[in-house]
């Protein structure tokens, strides 16, 4: 498995606080860039279930846009399969 940094932006998500946009970033292990994107979103969806709206017909306004996915060299002490999401209203 390779290591990848992933940066994804999203908008149109319905949350308790109202409609929101988001930024997801993290480091994941995967075989290729597409698998890294899917892994990052899956990990984030476990903590922030609102992200599953991007895969449903219930909220067609919720979209995810990949900004950047880069392969990175393994480094001692680097956490893998860790993602974080930052939310903004509007």
- Residue spans of the domains in the chain: they are 2-73+83-89
**Tens of pLDDT, residues 4-58:** 999 999 999 999 888 899 999 999 999 999 999 999 999 999 999 999 999 888 8
Question: 8 near 55, Cβ under 8 Å?
Answer: no
**Per-residue model confidence (pLDDT) at position 19:** 86
Token representation of residue 52: 């599953």
Q: Residue 32 gets which letter from DSSP? A: S
Among the listed residues 31, 33, 41, the one whose alpha carbon sits nearest the alpha carbon of residue 5:
33
Rounded to two decimals, the pTM is: 0.91
**How many whole angstroms separate alpha carbon 45 and alpha carbon 63?**
14
User: Is the predicted pLDDT of residue 89 greater than 70, yes or no?
Assistant: yes
């Amino acid at each position: 498995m390779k290591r990848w940094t992933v940066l994804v932006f999203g908008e149109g998500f319905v949350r308790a606080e109202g409609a929101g946009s988001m930024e997801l970033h993290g480091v994941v292990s995967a075989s290729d860039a597409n698998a890294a994107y899917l892994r990052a979103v899956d990990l984030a969806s476990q903590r922030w279930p609102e992200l599953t709206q991007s895969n449903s017909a219930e909220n067609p306004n919720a979209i995810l846009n990949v900004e950047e996915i880069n392969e990175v060299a393994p480094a001692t002490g680097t956490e893998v399969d860790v993602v974080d999401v930052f939310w903004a209203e509007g």
